[in-house]
Amino acid sequence: MADYILEMKNIIKEFSGFRALDQVNLNIERGEIHGLCGENGAGKSTLMNVLSGLYPYGSYDGDIVYNGDICKFKDLGDSENKGIVIIHQELALSPYLSVKENIFLGNEQAKHGVIDWDLTEKKTTNLLKTVGLKLSPNTLISQIGVGQQQLVEIAKAFSKSVKLLILDEPTAALNEEESANLLDLIREFKKQGITSIIISHKLSEIVNVADRITIIRDGKTIETLDHEEISEDRIIRGMVGRELTNRFPDRHPKIGDVYFEVKDWQVHHPVDTNRVVDNVKDFNIKRGEIVGIAGLMGAGRTEFAMSIFGHSYGQEIQGTVYKNGQEISVKNVADAINNGLAYVSEDRKELGLDLLMDIRENTSVASLNKISKNGILDKDQEIKTAEKLNEKMSTKYTSIFQNVGSLSGGNQQKVVLAKWLMTEPDILFLDEPTRGIDVGAKYEIYTIIEEMAASGKSICIISSELPEIIGMCDRIYTMSNGKMTGEVVRKDANQETLMSLMTMEA
Amino acid sequence: METTHEVHEVKADKKKMNIKDKVMDIFSRYSMVIILIVLLIAFQVMTGGIFWRPLNVTNLVLQNSHILILAAGMLLVVLLGHVDLSVGSVMAFVGSIAGIMMVNNKMNPWVTIIACLAVGALIGAWQGFWVAHVGIPAFIVTLAGLLMFRGLTQVVLGGQSLAPFPKVFQKMATGYLPDIAGGEHLHYLTMIIGILLAAVLIYSQWRARQHHKSNLFEVESIYAFAFKAIFTGVIVIGVTYIFAAYSGYPVILIILGVIVAAYGFLTNKTVPGRQIYATGGNKKAAELSGIKTKKITFWVFVNMGVMAALAGLVLAARLNAATPQAGTSLELDAMAAVYFGGASTSGGIGTILGAIVGGLVMGVLNNGMSIMGVGVDWQQAIKGLILLLAVVLDVYNKRKKVA
């Protein structure tokens, strides 16, 4: 019989009549790395919230057995005292406090209420060494990147003598290199006897790092796979309950002439004027073509797209933009939209949607001129248009007046796409179009993108996921340090070639 | 009785819900209206029937008109997630200019009014420039405005009050509609206008219903519609009768009516209105949707300046004097009204009807407690507590709905 550090038995959790977890069982062996997979809304996060005591004992049915004892956690503090620490997708660090202050936040190294800063700094230095971070303990959190912040969170977990570490989408905001480092670190922890649970949508990582995997679907445990059974296809089959033969739709492109072209594009950093963020000699998209931009985080991909889209990023922007051979103005967003440009941002909640508004209002907000006369809205027409477009996107909703905040990530992204389709664009920039979206919905989004290209639009996809870029694009630009370092056509594209171009010194 | 029916009928278009959910939903949506109605009934009982007398209802409107005007302007500012602390001082400043122009220099009241509104617009533009284009927090800019314009008022007035204002000017805040037929006990013109108003409201509801129908949308049943129409008619004509039984519609009520209608139209039916909500809800997303958020912010502050000027004129006209201390701390009343009416402090949520209901709740509390002989000290304490409770109730309801 295996030595289980944690057994969750027949967990049932209901939210006002809706059963989010239905008799879920999860067994974690001591010292293993356990992957937890499932589509968005399958119940992974709910299960972890039950475990951490966020949903206290009594609000669910079933037992949590940890180290052989039944646990009745009342709150997060209870579970942390036992060495169970969760690191959430949204990092919970205070931006204007230093690394050491954050690590010991709520756990201050104090005597009689007076903080011993020397001790704090010494301990922090040791912890940072453990997670492989070369930082001064006095650095402010706001000055470091997301990847390093993630490591600070992990260091914080270690300050509480963690035994069971739970990572919820730890690499969602990291680039490939940072992700690899993080996974190495988790393997290192395993050697030190720490058990980890990893929740991730990036199946390749899970396959890489996990000893065993439990799959959850619709609030039920589907199966637990042992190491030798694990493969991406196998996991996907478990997650969606069917074989997903193609992860990308077939592509039979009808590519026309060069339609959209950017020349000698130079963008300076919004604060530091001397720093050139982007310097692109030539970039073009043909009619009906899907072009990809591959690059590591910080390569200037998003900055490039946003600076073209109405100078939304940077300053002292130079260069010219042509559409169909004619020079067009993109000086502000309204100009860019009027000239047929659309930009679907990488951050849905911050930049793409107004979470206070409903589906209808979010769909129409970029094309209010299309549903108004002399500044007066025709709301009936607005409803009809929004319904039509969201139907086309197959957005799942109960009412067009439903708040977008209540939709799943995939459906939110469909609303964003509907919003930009309503502007009737000719050129679409899609920045991380499937980030945080589950496998089934990803395929639907890909199909939509495919259809848009087939209808003659020019499309540019920016993505950190190389399989996505390779699977979708007809032509791929690689970007490094603000410059285009290569151009690869579909038949020559593979991860190795792209990676070496992306990491080229430019 | 009528209110519960009204609410049932509003919900009629929603899909099946059980009774408990329905009641909870009604409470969360209309908590402020319910509080107002409870207050209206409670004060009628507690004042021994004085509260609803025509004289008192008329006074209620006259005494609170400037706060309602401020609240309308403040709503847009709050929708953007900002505040304007300067409006009380701006009111006094504009009042003092009106005093200099009309009392000292005997200038034409109409010229003065237009000049004063222009001064308000300029002040709004000044503050809007710093907030929208330079990016200084509105709290700071308008706090500076609060000090500046109060100081400038003292400078202009030299610490003295200016009075009296011409009769025409006073009429704006204290006058009534003239009567045509000289009814002894009833103001006929007011009654006619009230009945016409009810008819227009019902007709426009009918037209909207037909329009929806022609677009193949679901509409409420004909009975529900008839009920709504009768309800509207009874309320409008009933309230009109109360005014008609005293001296008729006050001029300021007509001005208020126009303002409410205009703001309702702006926020509900126009592109700029939608852009204000979008900017307040998520400024970055709005910018990336092509909305010129700086321009929107600037004009909202200009609008606030004009409304503060109008409120200042109304207050000066009612007091029949320009005084250095006019409008002190009214910015807080205006903001209380808006937050009371369900607006969010972080922007993006709020309605003109909510702001007006909020303003009325404040006014009713003032008026009702005064009749009951509650001292000003206690009045303020009670108002503060009720504001907190009302917002707590609102937040609690919304949170429950999300969970």
pLDDT bucket at A233, cuts 50 / 70 / 90: confident
Write down the residue that tokens 């669910």 correspond to: A60
Say whether pLDDT at B14 is over 50.
no
Other Cβ atoms closer than 10 A to B392: 10
What pLDDT is attached to residue B344? 85
- Banded model confidence at residue A467, pLDDT cuts 50, 70, 90: confident
Token pair in block for residue B31: 């908590």
Cβ contact A372–B270 (<8 Å): yes
In angstroms, rounded to a whole number, what is the distance separating the alpha carbons of residues A203 and A340? Answer: 36
pLDDT at B225 (0 to 100): 86
Write the residue in B212, B215, B269 that is nearest to A376 by C-beta: B269
Distances in Å between the alpha carbon of A73 and those of A15, A33, A79, B403? 19, 23, 6, 21
Give the integer Cα–Cα distance in Å for B372 and B364: 12
Distances (CA, A) of B123 to B33, B71, B145, B175, B327: 34, 18, 9, 29, 16
pLDDT at B338: 92
Q: Do B270 and A375 touch (CB under 8 A)?
A: yes
Whether B284 sits inside 8 A of A336 (CB atoms) is no
Select from 3.30.930.10, 3.40.50.1980, 3.40.50.300, 3.40.50.2030 the CATH code of A253-340+426-436+457-506.
3.40.50.300
Write down the pLDDT at residue B10.
39
Q: Tell me the residues of chain A between 2 and 61 that have a Cβ less than 8 Å away from chain B.
A: 15-16
**Mean pLDDT score across all residues of chain B:** 88
- Chosen from A46, A368, A397 to mutate, greatest number of chain B CBs within 10 A: A368
Chain A contact set for B269 (CB, 8 A):
376-377, 379
What is the interface size between A and B, counted as CB pairs within 8 Å?
86
Structural domain harbouring B121: 2-175+250-402
CA dihedral B373, B376, B378, B379 (to 10 degrees): 80
Which CATH fold would you assign to the domain A4-240?
Rossmann fold (3.40.50)
**Where are chain A's structural domains?**
4-240, 253-340+426-436+457-506, 347-424
B113 assigned to some structural domain: yes
> What is the percentage of chain A residues whose pLDDT exceeds 70?
97
Q: What is the average per-residue pLDDT within B240-268?
A: 93
Give the confidence band of A244 by pLDDT, cuts at 50, 70, 90: low
| pLDDT winner (highest mean) among A77-91, B21-35, B166-180, B210-224 | B166-180
Mean pLDDT over residues A190-203, rounded?
88
Q: How far is CA B153 from the centre of its chain?
A: 25
pLDDT at B37: 87
Residue numbers in A near B271 (CB within 8 A) = 368-369, 372, 375-377
Alpha helices by DSSP H, A14-145: 44-52, 76-81, 99-103, 117-130
Calculate how close chain A gets to B216, using CA atoms only, in Å. Answer: 10
Average pLDDT over residues A109-125: 90
Is-same-fold flag (A4-240; A253-340+426-436+457-506)?
Answer: yes
* Residue A381 CB partners (closer than 8 Å, separation 6+): A371
Cβ neighbours of A57 (radius 10 Å): 16
Chain A nearest-CA residue for B291: A334
Q: Which residue has the higher pLDDT, A505 or A106?
A: A106
Percent of chain B with pLDDT over 90: 62
Beta bridge partners of A223: A215
B287: in domain = yes
Contact list in A for residue B272 (CB cut-off 8 A) is: 375
Return the pLDDT at B185. Answer: 74
Bridge-based pairing state of the strands A164-168 and A114-115? unpaired
Q: Which residues are A463's β-sheet partners? A: A294
Contact, A251 vs A291, CB < 8 A? no
Residue B282 and residue B284: Cα distance in Å, rounded?
6
CB contact under 8 A, A384 and B215: yes
Q: What percent of chain B has pLDDT above 70?
A: 91
Q: Do A361 and B278 touch (CB under 8 A)?
A: yes
Identify any residues that bridge with A268 across adjacent strands, giving them in sequence order: A276, A315
Q: Judge whether B209 lies within some domain.
A: no
Confidence check: pLDDT of B12 > 50: no
A197: which 2 tokens? Answer: 């649970």
What are the CA-CA distances from residue A104 to residues A170, A235, A409, A423 (Å)?
Answer: 21, 38, 33, 49
Q: Which residues of B touch A (CB under 8 A)?
A: 211-212, 215, 217, 269-275, 277-278, 281-282, 284-292, 344, 348-349, 403
Q: Tens digits of per-residue pLDDT, B128-139?
A: 999 999 999 999
In the stretch 367-396 of chain A, residues with CB closer than 8 A to chain B read 368-369, 372, 375-377, 379-380, 383-384
CATH number of the domain to which B140 belongs: 1.10.3470
CB spacing of A368 vs B212 below 8 angstroms: no
B123: confidence class by pLDDT, cuts 50, 70, 90: very high
Number of domains observed in the structure of chain B: 1
Average pLDDT over residues B89-101: 96
Euclidean distance between CA atoms A122 and A112, whole angstroms:
19
Burial of A70 (0-12, 13-18, 19+ CB in 10 A): exposed
Alpha-carbon gap: B340 to the closest alpha carbon of chain A (Å): 19
Considering only CB atoms, B278 lies closest to which of A336, A365, A375, namely A365
**The pair of three-digit structure tokens given for residue B70, joined into one six-digit string:** 């401020």
State ipTM.
0.82
B127-173 tens-digit pLDDT: 999 999 999 999 999 999 999 999 999 999 998 999 899 999 999 89
**pLDDT at B399 (0 to 100):** 65
Residue B76 inside a domain? The answer is: yes
The reported pLDDT for the residue numbered A35 is 93
Residue A304 vs residues A38, A83, A265, A341, A343: alpha-carbon distances, Å: 34, 44, 9, 14, 11
The answer, yes or no, to whether residue B402 has pLDDT greater than 50, is: no
CA distance, residue B1 to nearest chain A CA (Å): 29
A379 CB neighbours in chain B (<8 A) are 269
CA distances from B268 to B33, B207, B261 (A): 19, 17, 10
A296, A175 Cβ separation under 8 angstroms: yes
Question: Chain B residues with CB inside 8 Å of A369's CB?
Answer: 271
A345 in contact with B, Cβ within 8 Å: yes
Q: Which helix (H) or strand (E) holds A384?
A: helix A379-392
Shortest Cα–Cα distance, A378 to chain B (Å): 8
Closest in B212, B269, B289 to A365, CB measured: B289
- Tell me, what DSSP letter sits at residue A437? -
Residue of A nearest to B217 (CA): A380
CA–CA dist B177, B192 (Å, integer): 12
Please give the residue of chain B at the shortest CA–CA distance from A343: B288
The C-alpha atoms of residue A138 and residue A99 are separated, in whole angstroms, by 6
- Tens of pLDDT, residue by residue over A283-312, are 999 999 999 999 877 788 999 999 999 999
pLDDT of B8: 38
- Give the predicted TM-score (pTM) of the model: 0.80
- pLDDT at position B297: 97
In this complex, the residue of A351, A355, A377 whose CB is nearest that of residue B288 is A351
DSSP E strands, A361-481: 372-373, 376-377, 427-431, 458-463, 475-480
CB contact under 8 A, A337 and B270: no
Residue B219 lies in a domain: no
**Residue B11: pLDDT over 60:** no
Vertex A337 angle, CA B136 and A402, to 5°: 80
| Among the ranges given (A2-16, A350-364, B27-41), the one the predictor scored with the smallest mean pLDDT | B27-41
**Beta-sheet strands, E only, within B218-342:** none
CA distance A59 to chain B (A): 14
| Best A13, A312, A356 residue to mutate vs chain B (most B CBs within 10 Å) | A356
Interchain proximity A333–B288, CB inside 8 Å: yes
Is position B220 within any domain? no
Q: Of the segments A156-160, A319-323, B179-183, which one has the largest average pLDDT value? A: A319-323
Length in residues, chain B: 403
Whether B379 has a pLDDT exceeding 60, the answer reads yes
Task: Report the distance separating Cα B77 and Cα B90, nearest Å.
Answer: 15
With a cut of 80, say whether residue A242 has pLDDT above it.
Answer: no
Q: Do B278 and A310 touch (CB under 8 A)?
A: no
- pLDDT digits 0-9 by tens, B271-330: 999 999 999 999 999 999 999 999 999 999 999 999 999 999 999 999 999 999 999 989
Q: What is the DSSP string of A455-494?
A: TT-EEEEEES-HHHHHHH-SEEEEEETTEEEEEEEGGG--
Least confident of A399-403, B29-33, B230-234, B335-339: B29-33
pLDDT at A315 over 80: yes
The amino acid sitting at A495 is Q
Per-residue pLDDT, averaged over B209-234, amounts to 83
CB crowding B160-198: b at 16 or more within 10 Å, else e: ebbeebeeebbbbbbbbbebeeeeeeebebbbebbeebb
CB B266 within 8 A of CB B353: no
Amino acid occupying residue B312: G
Whether A368 shows a pLDDT value over 50: the answer reads yes
Average pLDDT over residues A131-150: 86
Answer yes or no: is B69 within a domain: yes
Rounded-to-integer distance, Cα A355 and Cα A201, Å: 24
For residues A237 and A243, the answer to whether their CB atoms sit within 8 Å is: yes
User: With contacts defined as CB-CB under 8 Å, which chain B residues touch A352?
Assistant: 285, 288
Distance from CA of A350 to the nearest CA of B (A): 7
pLDDT, one tens digit per residue, over A161-182 is 889 999 988 877 777 778 888 8
